[in-house]
Amino acid sequence: MATQATPSMTTKEIADTLTKLCSVGKFDEAMNKTYSNNIVSMEAGAPPGESRDAKGIDAVRKKAEWWTTNHEVHSAKVEGPLVAGAHFAVTYKLDVTFKPQNRRFTMEEVAVYKVADGKIVYEEFFYNM
Amino acid sequence: MATQATPSMTTKEIADTLTKLCSVGKFDEAMNKTYSNNIVSMEAGAPPGESRDAKGIDAVRKKAEWWTTNHEVHSAKVEGPLVAGAHFAVTYKLDVTFKPQNRRFTMEEVAVYKVADGKIVYEEFFYNM
């Protein structure tokens, strides 16, 4: 008997999975369940000489690890998703301390995600620098 | 007595104004009330040799006029907004006919807007080509 392929998650299923896991702080599990190995992650800006985009799951995990190591999260609020075709949008509102400078601040950003073959292949973050 | 300046609309006020007007088909009024003269509008893609972005209110109005002239809108659904800081996201789901080819299709897209000084200064649309 042939093995049945698991059907790909729809954009809405991916969006709901990501949103639920992120809202309880399970960022790693969110990444494992929803990100393609070929994910491209685009920031609103980058330090001089650095790139706005991280390409591939290894580069994106490294960026996430840097962020997690350097920030203490006091509270996180995730709103959305708004789903349209292969894309969806979410907002993140974070109250964090940047540990190297012991500087507490709030971050508010819109994130847009693109889904292909049941995985997130592109994400872009919109916030003021 | 000095004239009091009208306070700028907040991101949420701009987002609500745009969303309400667009959901009843008042796209021109939405543009007049919420767009900066220096608006930059970015499409997901462009025909070969053309630009993805339109810069300035005149170019953006021209793009909107082309769209309105060439499409018949059977139904339009606007969802959102999701607001975060100076940005907000909306989704549009349109059932339209492209009149030159008499071709009916549905469009689903995520739109992200950036607000500065109480006006929309940037918009970007995410959809599959």
Report the pLDDT value the prediction gives residue B50, as an integer from 0 to 100.
87
Report the pLDDT value the prediction gives residue A31, as an integer from 0 to 100.
95
pTM attached to this predicted model: 0.92
What is the side-by-side strand order in the sheet with B103-116?
A: B53-55, B35-42, B119-126, B103-116, B87-98, B71-84
Helix (H) or strand (E) holding A22: helix A11-23
As a 3-state breakdown, chain B gives helix, strand, coil percent values, each rounded to 5, of 30, 45, 25
Cα distances (Å, whole numbers) of residue A39 to A5, A36, A54, A57, A114: 22, 5, 8, 6, 10
Report the pLDDT value the prediction gives residue B21, as an integer from 0 to 100.
95
- Residue B60: strand, helix, or coil: helix
pLDDT at B1 over 60: no
Question: Measured over all CA atoms, what is the biggest interatomic distance in chain A, rounded to whole angstroms?
Answer: 59
Q: Under an 8 A CB cutoff, do B112 and A109 touch? A: no
Residues of A numbered 88-127 whose beta carbons fall under 8 angstroms of chain B's beta carbons: which are they? 88-93, 108-110, 112, 114, 126-127
- Enumerate the residues of chain B whose CB falls inside 8 A of the CB of residue A84: 79, 91-93, 108-110, 126-127
CB A15 within 8 A of CB A9: no
Strands A71-84 and A103-116 turn out to be unpaired
From the list B79, B88, B127, the residue facing A87 with the nearest CB is: B127
pLDDT at B68 over 70: yes
Rounded distance between C-alpha atoms, residue B120 and residue B86, angstroms: 9
Report the pLDDT value the prediction gives residue A50, as an integer from 0 to 100.
87
Residue A12 touches chain B, beta carbons under 8 Å: no
pLDDT at A25 over 90: no
- Enumerate the residues of chain A whose CB falls inside 8 A of the CB of residue B123: none
Residue A3 pLDDT class (50, 70, 90 cuts) = low
Q: Under an 8 A CB cutoff, do B128 and A85 touch? A: yes
pLDDT at A16 over 90: yes
